[in-house]
Amino acid sequence: MRVLIDQQFHPGHHYQYVAQLLPAVCGLADDVVVAVTPAGRASVEFEAFLKPFSDRVRFEPILPEGNPGFPLHDRLPMHRALRDAVKRLDPDYVLIPSGDAQATAMALFRWTGRGALPKSIPCEVGIHFGAGRDASLKVQLRDVINGWNLGLSGCRKVHLVNHLFFERLRRIPVVGRTFSAVPHPVARPPAVGTLESRRRLGLPEHGRYIGLAGSLDSRKALAEFIAAFRDATS
């Protein structure tokens, strides 16, 4: 059995999803292929997370470069790149850990008779986008549309990293059964004491702080986090 893992992007946490999958996949399939970009194959992330699997996994740097922000104009080309990889490597099963861009067109291809993937090869996809509860009506509507699109994609399973998005989609009749929630596979960094942390950051050593590294958008559930923080402290 040949399993293809399609990983378009490499910065940040993307290759960590693949590294989490590979031990189990290698135990189930006798031929595991990971499609990446040439830049990804040459990256420090590859050295850190994927190179240890080189004796068990074949890495194919055949994917074109893409924008990890997956703008709309990039999504169809990314989907076509996935289809080209499937045609070239002829797998029996496909896993797409970060498939936000590639999955956008799957429902369209499926409903025009061409299958979510060529030959309707079964696949599973991981999705990072979605807002959740604390969002405008426009964003909530976009969540529902994205949910229907993903639910009708033909994927065996759609794995959602955003748990608020998952909670919304699981309430959509029929389509909601397609989704599951997955944890973010980033290892906890070494702990640094409170005083040492504040000294390194040049912050006052007394008082309480909330820290969050990353884009501060609705996907981070900031409103819920702050409310929980207030409820849990005096």
8 A C-beta contact, residue 39 and residue 9? no
Distance CA 23, CA 171 (A): 33
Res 133: pLDDT: 66
Distance CA 105, CA 116 (A): 8
- Please give the mean pLDDT across all residues of the chain: 89
Res 218: pLDDT: 67
Place of tokens 């807002």: 131
Among candidate residues 116, 135, 224, the one with its CA nearest the CA of residue 178: 116
Lowest model confidence (mean pLDDT) among 53-62, 99-108, 175-184? 175-184
Distance CA 126, CA 141 (A): 21
Band (228; pLDDT cuts 50, 70, 90):
confident
Res 13: pLDDT: 86
pLDDT top residue among 67 and 103: 103
Res 143: pLDDT: 86
pLDDT in tens, 139-149: 888 888 888 99
Q: Using a pLDDT cut of 70, give the percent of the chain over it.
A: 93
Among candidate residues 8, 118, 18, the one with its CA nearest the CA of residue 61: 8
Residue 25 has pLDDT above 80, yes or no: yes
pTM of the model: 0.80
pLDDT in tens, 80-135: 999 999 999 999 999 999 999 999 999 999 999 999 999 999 999 999 888 766 66
**DSSP letters of 92-152?**
SEEEETT-HHHHTTHHHHHHTTS-SSGGG--EEEEE-----SSS-HHHHHHHHHHHHHHHT
15-42 average pLDDT score: 95
Token duo for residue 164? 């608020």
177-187 average pLDDT score: 83
46-62 average pLDDT score: 96
Distance CA 134, CA 140 (A): 9
Task: Tell me the β-bridge partners of 31.
Answer: 2
